[in-house]
Amino acid sequence: MIRFVAIAAIGALSAVGAARAVVSLDPDRYAVPARAEQAVATIAAEPPANAQVRKSADGHYWAEANVNGKAVRFLVDTGATAVSLTLEDARRLGVDTSSLDYRYDVITADGKARAATVKLASISIAGARIDNVDALVIEKGLTASLLGMSYLGRLRAFEATQTALILKP
């Protein structure tokens, strides 16, 4: 695919160059459409490749992520407003959980819990990287960290299929 894009870009650049050479011979007779130059810019600005999270045997999407340079396993939860970290995962990421202000009341699958806000420098899943992600640290009751909409909603798109979750950065 990359080879095809490179060949197409070189071809488009060659065509624009040739057209400019002809125009320089007789600028009034030949006009280079602006669309030709826009096509080259469009080819060069191709979005990054999609990433995939395979559906697990339990029917859930479990994402292995790189968060601030460390591995975290997330349960993908499109119903969660924000990325939510267990205390254990937050501590592994270097968060001083004892100094957090657990002022927010949230509802988890286990009922009410208290949460504190944190900012994660980055979350990357199979190459789909988002920087400066708002997240919550859940004081108790969360058995797995959740990959919520504060990450998913910042992707260009995402799509759940029968076998995988497609992340479009």
> What are the start and end residues of each CATH 2.40.70.10 domain in the chain?
51-168
CA trace torsion 28, 33, 38, 44 (10° rounding): -80
How do residues 66-90 score in pLDDT, each as one tens digit? 999 999 999 999 999 999 999 999 9
pLDDT (0 to 100) of residue 88: 98
pLDDT (0 to 100) of residue 28: 54
Helices (H), the chain: 2-25, 34-44, 87-92, 149-152
How do residues 94-115 score in pLDDT, each as one tens digit? 999 999 999 999 998 889 999 9
pTM for the full predicted model: 0.73
Name which of 56, 117, 54, 52 is nearest 81 in CA terms: 117
The pLDDT-based confidence of 37 (bands split at 50, 70, 90) is low
Overall CATH class of domain 51-168: mainly beta
pLDDT (0 to 100) of residue 6: 37
**Separation CA 145–CA 7 (nearest Å):** 44
